C-alpha cells in the first residue's frame, strides 16, 4: 500500500475512534475495557489494512474487527458487563443533567440485561444508526437474523423498561398491623 493511502486510512481510523468507543460503551463495557477494545481494534486494523478488499466498506470492516475483539474478550475473560457512570454525566445544567443521567442510566441498565447478541444488534442499529445490511456485514449474520434479533431485542427491552418504570411503591402490599 502506498504511503499516502495508508495515511488516509490512518486518518479515517482516527475519526472512527470516538464511535468505536461509544459502541463499546453501548455494549456495556467499562471504561478500561473500552480503552483496551478500541486500542486493539485500531492496532489490528492498521496491521491488516492491506487485507481490506473494498475501501468503501472501511467502516464496516473496522466495526467487524471491534466485534471480533469483543467476542474474544468475552470468551477469554467470561466477562461481566459493567457500567461506567463517568460517561453518563452531561453538561446541560444540574437538573437536566440529573434527569438525563437518570434516563440514560435506566436505558443502559435495561440494555445490559439483554443477551449479548441482542445488545449488539440494538446498539448498532439504534445508537450508531447503521443499516440492517451494514449490521449483517459487521456481525457476519444474515439480514433476516438481524431483523429477528432486533425485533426480539426491542420486545425484551420494552418489557424491562416497563418493569423499571413501574414505581415500586405501587407494588407494596398494605398490611394491617394489629
Q: Phi then psi for 23, rounded to 5 degrees?
A: -65, -45
Whose Cβ is closer to another protein: residue 139's or residue 157's?
157
The whole-angstrom separation of Cα 67 and Cα 140 is: 10
Q: With b meaning 16 or more CB within 10 Å and e meaning fewer, what string describes 29-43? A: bbbebbeebbebbbe
Place of cell 486518518: 11
Distance CA 147, CA 132 (A): 8
Task: Verify binding: residue 150, another protein, rule CB under 8 A.
Answer: yes
With contacts defined by CB under 8 A, name the span among 60-68, 73-81, 106-114, 168-176 that binds another protein. Answer: 106-114
User: Measured between alpha carbons, how far is residue 178 from residues 13, 83, 168, 169, 175 in Å?
Assistant: 69, 45, 25, 22, 9
22 is a contact residue toward another protein (CB under 8 A): yes
* Exposure letters 116-154 (e unless 16+ CB within 10 A, then b): eebbbbbbbbeebebebebbbbbbebeeeebeebbebbb
Q: Select 79 or 132, whichever has its Cβ closest to another protein.
A: 132
Measured from the CB atom, is 48 or 155 closer to another protein? 155
Stretch that binds another protein, among 53-61, 68-76, 142-150, 170-178 (CB under 8 A): 142-150
Residue 73 interacting with another protein (CB under 8 A): no
116 vs 128, beta carbon nearer another protein: 128
Residue 18 Cβ, how far from another protein at the closest point, in Å?
Answer: 4
The site for another protein (CB under 8 A) is made up of 10, 13-15, 17-19, 21-22, 25-26, 35, 38-39, 42-43, 46, 87-88, 100, 103-104, 107-108, 111, 122-123, 125-129, 131-132, 147-148, 150-151, 154-155, 157-158, 161
Amino acid at each position: 500500500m502506498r504511503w499516502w493511502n495508508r495515511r488516509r486510512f490512518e486518518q479515517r481510523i482516527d475519526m472512527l475512534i470516538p464511535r468505536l468507543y461509544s459502541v463499546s460503551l453501548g455494549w456495556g463495557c467499562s471504561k478500561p475495557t473500552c480503552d483496551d477494545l478500541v486500542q486493539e481494534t485500531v492496532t489490528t486494523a492498521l496491521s491488516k489494512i492491506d487485507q481490506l478488499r473494498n475501501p468503501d466498506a472501511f467502516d464496516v470492516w473496522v466495526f467487524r474487527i471491534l466485534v471480533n475483539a469483543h467476542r474474544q474478550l468475552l470468551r477469554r475473560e467470561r466477562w461481566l458487563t459493567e457500567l461506567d457512570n463517568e460517561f453518563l454525566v452531561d453538561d446541560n445544567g444540574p437538573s437536566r443533567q440529573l434527569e438525563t443521567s437518570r434516563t440514560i442510566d435506566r436505558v443502559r441498565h435495561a440494555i445490559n440485561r439483554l443477551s449479548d447478541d441482542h445488545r449488539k444488534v440494538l446498539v448498532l442499529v439504534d445508537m450508531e444508526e447503521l443499516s440492517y445490511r451494514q449490521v449483517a456485514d459487521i456481525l457476519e449474520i444474515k439480514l433476516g437474523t438481524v431483523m429477528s434479533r432486533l425485533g426480539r431485542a426491542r420486545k425484551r427491552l420494552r418489557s424491562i423498561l416497563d418493569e423499571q418504570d413501574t414505581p415500586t411503591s405501587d407494588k407494596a402490599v398494605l398490611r394491617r398491623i394489629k
